[in-house]
Amino acid sequence: MPQQFVVIIAGGRGERFWPLSRRARPKHLLEVVGSGSLLEQTLRRVAPVVKLANTVIITSAEQARALRAACPGLPKENIVVEPAARNTGPAVALAAALIAARDPQATFAVLPADHVVRAVRAYRRDLKAAFAAAATRKVLVTLGIRPTAPATGFGYIRCGGRSIRAGGRSFARIERFVEKPPLAAARRYLADGSYLWNAGMFVWGVQSLATAFQAHAPALWDAFAPVRTALATGTPRQLKGAMRAAYAGVERISIDHALLEKVSNGVVLPASFDWDDVGSWAALSRHMVADAADNRVSGEGVVVDGRGNLVIASPGRVVALLGVNDCVVVQTDDATLVMPRARAEQVRSVVQALERKPSRARWL
Amino acid sequence: MPQQFVVIIAGGRGERFWPLSRRARPKHLLEVVGSGSLLEQTLRRVAPVVKLANTVIITSAEQARALRAACPGLPKENIVVEPAARNTGPAVALAAALIAARDPQATFAVLPADHVVRAVRAYRRDLKAAFAAAATRKVLVTLGIRPTAPATGFGYIRCGGRSIRAGGRSFARIERFVEKPPLAAARRYLADGSYLWNAGMFVWGVQSLATAFQAHAPALWDAFAPVRTALATGTPRQLKGAMRAAYAGVERISIDHALLEKVSNGVVLPASFDWDDVGSWAALSRHMVADAADNRVSGEGVVVDGRGNLVIASPGRVVALLGVNDCVVVQTDDATLVMPRARAEQVRSVVQALERKPSRARWL
């Protein structure tokens, strides 16, 4: 029987949750929502569906050490370090090579490491149904999230009229992928009802994927031919060299752009679970309890005469706000960030400003 | 020849500069402006006029230890701990007893510990002139500060028409003391030209002071009779008991209210030096260099897209502001304060809020 695998994409530059996140400690390694880091929660969520031995994490050299420490039960060879960050297109091509080397008939899911899902049983049911569809119907499955707001930060998927059934669920044919839209379009998509958010969660068979790559992204697929050869017959050292060569030449492109927008066998499963990518400090508010003045405080915080603030204090330290409204204040051992909630999507500009400081290293 | 003394009132509850100031480390023990703590600067400023052996510091039990460490050259017995904080009236009565016991003919200055003066030579000349007036003319001298703004946080002194001369300087008769005024009145005082700020700096002879106390504040004076007796004939333990008894019964009152408003031999010397009481974090701005966006940063700070902020970062830590204007952000080892500049006078409300926290002790 063909095996099932999970490939967790653990990228991230540690910018959006600065100063808590750092280059070597991106969001998925933080315990910002729920118990344990978001990556640990992802592993726990998947574990009953796919055994740990079949779980592969693709990550960067910068965070490999922290990641190994965070995943003590994971076989060492299941943590794969990309020589460079090239977006999800090359990462999926690499994953396909890695999984095919273990089982050429396998199906595998691609999942982000840093999302929040509370309805874990619904999540697992959906994942199993997606595996069933990928295995039996040779389709490329995307899990789509029913929009709850006119978000401009996500890509959308427009569901087509036809549908297929597998694992007891209906999968809609994908009519098209839509780039992150302006607000007016996002509002239309929300009202329309046939658009879902693209959350970067995919399930497919190794063979279906290879066929699609060869048809629609042959250059990207061919770039990884030496990697496939090294996996089949080479030494670990040869594999490392082949990976370095592949990444040196390959285009930086998402799997959506490289492949999924072009295939005709793409289907989407509307997720039956809640989902939040917690994309910023402000987004974290949704997971915190507000006090009577709509302030959300983690740790020791004091808000005098202020409303609508998000306050994060590190252990043993206190954060005090006086006459401040609708701000985010985050304090860690060695850094403090203050900004209006409305600027929470722009924390990257602070990280960029820090990069220009001579004394920056310790804070990045 | 009668001796000259200086009595430095080192009180303070460590509230206005929280979180840098604490109960045991009020403003005068901080290095916020210039080199060394404000108390050290006060001692250095006075040293060429009055020898260290004749310099007495009156302080509270809470900060006595930190104060002793901060004044290594000062004779231990010159640091006097009040059993309770009762404002400047009782403190001056105590000082009068202490100085009279050393030299009944002495003159002494009463000076706050935590003010900023840059023109130290002018300061010393003024102080010497005030000592001369106190010794030769038997007057009670207040040093008055020429107002530079319609401040509502200081008391004012209205100068009378007549004047006396001593030490080569003119001293105006005090017509009256004025309480901290509302803004409209403060504007009139500023325009009028005959009003000076009362900065709590006084010079007088022990005998003139005793005469004034007996005439205008006999209850306060009598409360310290046991202290004077113990100083003359008692043991250190008896002195301690006498002080405790005196403070238990004495009224909480300023020397201005208790005495100076009532005397007829009060004079004021318009100061020829610059002066700043640096009464709040916002006031500190005046002593910091602004960048092109009018931000003032001490330590490692990053301000992205923000103007008019005051940022204080503790060593090894960074403070980052994004899209924030006209705010004060102070970060210490264990606390962070965020407030609009306009609220800087109200830091006390934060300290009061902290007092209600079970975990408060470490931050007060």
| Cβ count within 10 A of residue B47 | 15
Q: Long-range CB contacts (< 8 A, 24+ apart) of A22-27? A: A22/A363, A22/A364, A23/A62, A23/A63, A23/A364, A24/A62, A24/A63, A24/A65, A24/A66, A25/A63, A25/A66, A26/A63, A26/A114, A27/A114, A27/A278
- Residue B134 — pLDDT band, cuts 50, 70, 90? very high
Q: Verify that A185 and A311 share a domain, yes or no.
A: no
From residue A266, alpha-carbon distances to A129, A138, A197, A220, B317 in Å are 15, 9, 15, 19, 50
Q: Verify that A255 and A114 share a domain, yes or no.
A: yes
Structural domain that includes position A28: 4-270
Is A346 part of the contact surface with chain B (CB cutoff 8 Å)? yes
| Cβ count within 10 A of residue B21 | 23
Q: How many angstroms separate the CA of residue A60 from the nearest CA in chain B?
A: 26
Q: Verify that A248 and A293 share a domain, yes or no.
A: no
As beta bridge partners, residue A57 has A8, A79
First to last CA, chain A: 46
Is A81 part of the contact surface with chain B (CB cutoff 8 Å)? no
Strand order in the sheet with A327-331: A296-298, A310-312, A327-331, A335-340, B318-322, B300-304
Residue A276 maps to a domain: no
Sheet strands (E) in B167-261:
169-178, 195-205
Residue B223 maps to a domain: yes
- Dihedrals phi, psi of B157, to nearest 5 degrees: -120, 125
CB-CB under 8 Å, B350 with A320: yes
CA distance A332 to A316: 10
Q: Collect all residues of chain A within an 8 Å Cβ-Cβ radius of residue B350.
A: 302, 304, 320, 322
Look-up: residue for tokens 């006075």? B46
Tens digits of residue pLDDT in B181-210: 999 999 999 999 999 999 999 999 999 999
Output the domain CATH number for residue B64.
3.90.550.10
As beta bridge partners, residue B177 has B157
Q: Verify that A98 and A25 share a domain, yes or no.
A: yes
Q: Which of A207, A235, A270 is the last residue of a domain?
A: A270
Q: Which of B223, B244, B270 is the last residue of a domain?
A: B270
Predicted local distance difference test score (pLDDT) of residue B250 = 95
Q: Verify that B287 and B167 share a domain, yes or no.
A: no
Q: Verify that B194 and B321 share a domain, yes or no.
A: no
Predicted local distance difference test score (pLDDT) of residue B1 = 80
- Residue of chain A with shortest Cα separation from B320: A337
Residue B209 maps to a domain: yes
Closest CA to B63 of B89, B41, B42, B37: B37
Q: Verify that A214 and A285 share a domain, yes or no.
A: no
Q: Which of A270, A296, A328 is the last residue of a domain?
A: A270
Is A359 part of the contact surface with chain B (CB cutoff 8 Å)? yes
Q: Verify that A158 and A230 share a domain, yes or no.
A: yes
- Residue B362 — pLDDT band, cuts 50, 70, 90? confident
Q: Verify that B245 and B314 share a domain, yes or no.
A: no
Q: Verify that B103 and B212 share a domain, yes or no.
A: yes
Predicted local distance difference test score (pLDDT) of residue A13 = 83
CA distance A196 to B229: 89
Q: How many angstroms separate the CA of residue B318 from the nearest CA in chain A?
A: 5
Tens digits of residue pLDDT in B307-337: 999 999 999 999 999 999 999 999 999 999 9
Residue B248 maps to a domain: yes
Tens digits of residue pLDDT in B218-263: 999 999 999 999 999 999 999 999 999 999 989 999 999 999 999 9
Q: Verify that B305 and B216 share a domain, yes or no.
A: no
The ipTM (two decimal places) reads 0.89
Is A347 part of the contact surface with chain B (CB cutoff 8 Å)? yes
The total number of structural domains in chain A stands at 2
Reading the block at residue A140, the tokens are 């490329």
Predicted local distance difference test score (pLDDT) of residue A359 = 74
User: What string of pLDDT tens digits covers the 364 residues of chain A?
Assistant: 899 999 999 988 889 999 999 988 999 999 989 899 999 999 999 999 999 999 999 999 999 999 999 998 899 999 999 999 999 999 999 999 999 999 999 999 999 999 999 999 999 999 999 999 999 999 999 999 999 999 998 999 999 978 999 999 999 999 999 999 999 999 999 999 999 999 999 999 999 999 999 999 999 999 999 999 999 999 999 999 999 999 998 999 999 999 999 999 999 999 999 999 998 999 999 899 999 999 999 999 999 999 999 999 999 999 999 999 999 999 999 999 999 999 999 999 999 999 988 876 788 8
Give the mean pLDDT of B66-81.
92
Predicted local distance difference test score (pLDDT) of residue B361 = 72
Closest CA to A15 of A350, A326, A360: A350
From residue A270, alpha-carbon distances to A155, A193, B163, B362 in Å are 15, 11, 91, 52
- Residue of chain B with shortest Cα separation from A333: B317
